């Protein structure tokens, strides 16, 4: 008999039901996340993407079910220190702190390193995200893309093996969004960080997603899972096709539209 030698998922949601005010949005959901994956959580508005994310990172208690996180403890951190990093949609930087102080905050909270060592580590994280020249800037002095990068630097300050991103490309132009995608891929491939992304940006999904799940409001759960391009090109499920081809259809209709003729 063959024995599955694959390591267990680094993150696993089992029979998870989440919602608001006693009303479930997602029911009896099973979601394993393999180590080293870049998993994109997709779905239309109101399908529970952000609600699921909040349950996975422990911000909200599920109505039922459990979330299992299999990460090794860090011997240099107390047992209660978080072993995951989160980038919220707004980046959630503290406006009264410099960029360096924001990145150093988790280190000050969870380690007993001396201030000089903490600043050295924080500067290294800023170099990793390309913000080494902005350590003394306040968040208000940064562009939207820079704020996201600073938020990622803070999220990985404690060397967490899991990184959660909530709509990282929201509000960014295509060039900045592509550069952020490159950074996410670098963290995933070079540092081995497992990434879970809630997003609706299909171009980013195609660039960086190794796996994706599609949530649907009618079923209150996952209707498809797989590599993004495979689901886009081969799925026969009308719900899947409608989601993945909506952007293409919209662009085609816009390009086919003719400008109104102005009479002299």
CATH number of domain containing 103 = 3.40.50.300
- Tell me the CA end-to-end span of the chain in Å, nearest whole number: 81
Residue 93 lies in a domain: yes
Question: Is residue 253 a part of any domain in this protein?
Answer: no
- Residue 173 covered by a domain: yes
Q: Is the dihedral of CA 144, 150, 152, 155 positive or negative?
A: negative
In this predicted structure, what is the pLDDT of residue 252?
Answer: 43
Please give the DSSP secondary-structure letter assigned to residue 6.
S
Beta-carbon neighbour count of residue 206 at 10 Å? 16
Structural domain contains residue 66: no
- The verdict on residue 189 lying in a domain is yes
Work out the average pLDDT over 154-179.
93
115-128 helix and 99-110 helix, angle to the nearest 10 degrees: 130
Question: In this predicted model, what pLDDT tens digit does every residue of 53-84 receive, in sequence order?
Answer: 999 999 999 999 999 999 988 888 999 999 99
Average pLDDT over residues 89-96: 90
Question: What pLDDT is recorded for position 247?
Answer: 54
Within a domain: residue 17? no
Regarding beta strands 194-198 and 162-166, do their DSSP bridges make them parallel or antiparallel, or are they unpaired? parallel
Per-residue model confidence (pLDDT) at position 4 = 59
Whole-number pLDDT of residue 17: 96
Which pLDDT score is estimated for 90? 83
pLDDT score, position 245: 86
Average pLDDT for the chain: 89
| High-pLDDT (> 70) share of the chain, % | 92
260 pLDDT tier (thresholds 50, 70, 90): very low
Does position 166 have pLDDT exceeding 70, yes or no?
yes
pLDDT score recorded for residue 3: 53
For residue 152, the enclosing domain spans 36-54+76-237
Lowest mean pLDDT among 181-185, 199-203, 206-210: 199-203
**Residues pairing with 38 in the sheet:** 195
**For position 249, what pLDDT does the model report?**
46
pLDDT of residue 2: 53
Question: Does the residue 95 lie in any domain?
Answer: yes
Q: What is the pLDDT of residue 8?
A: 92
Least confident span in 2-16, 85-99, 137-151, 199-213: 2-16
pLDDT of residue 263 exceeding 50, the answer is: no
Residue 118: pLDDT band by 50, 70, 90 thresholds?
very high
Please write the tens of the pLDDT for every residue from 224-236: 999 999 999 999 9
Backbone phi and psi for residue 64, each to the nearest 5 degrees, phi listed first: -160, 170
> Closest Cα partner for 30 from 10, 48, 16?
16
Counting the structural domains of the chain, the total is 1
pLDDT on residue 258: 42
In a domain, 217, yes or no: yes
**By percentage, how much of the chain surpasses pLDDT 90?**
79
pLDDT of residue 257: 41
């Amino acid at each position: 008999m063959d024995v599955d030698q694959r390591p267990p998922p680094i993150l696993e949601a089992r029979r998870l039901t989440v919602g608001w005010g006693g009303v479930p949005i997602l029911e009896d959901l099973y979601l394993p996340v393999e180590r080293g994956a870049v998993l994109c959580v997709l779905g239309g508005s109101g399908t529970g993407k952000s609600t699921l994310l909040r349950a996975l990172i422990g911000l909200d208690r599920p109505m039922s079910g459990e979330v299992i996180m299999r990460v090794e403890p860090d011997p240099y951190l107390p047992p209660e220190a978080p072993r995951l990093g989160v980038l919220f949609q707004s980046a959630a930087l503290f406006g009264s702190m410099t960029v360096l102080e924001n990145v150093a905050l988790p280190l000050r909270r969870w380690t007993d390193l001396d201030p000089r060592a903490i600043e050295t580590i924080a500067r290294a994280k800023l170099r990793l995200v390309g913000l080494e020249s902005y350590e003394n800037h306040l968040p208000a002095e940064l562009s939207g893309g820079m704020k996201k990068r600073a938020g990622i630097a803070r999220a990985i300050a404690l060397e967490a093996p899991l990184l959660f991103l909530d709509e990282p490309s929201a509000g960014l132009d295509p060039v900045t969004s592509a550069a952020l995608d490159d950074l996410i891929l670098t963290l995933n491939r070079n540092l081995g960080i497992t990434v879970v992304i809630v997003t609706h940006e299909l171009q980013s999904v195609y660039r960086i997603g190794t796996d994706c799940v599609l949530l649907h409001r009618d079923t209150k759960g996952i209707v498809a899972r797989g590599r993004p391009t495979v689901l886009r090109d081969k799925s026969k499920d009308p719900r899947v096709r409608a989601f993945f081809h909506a952007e293409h259809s919209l662009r085609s209709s816009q390009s086919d539209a003719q400008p109104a003729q102005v009479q002299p």
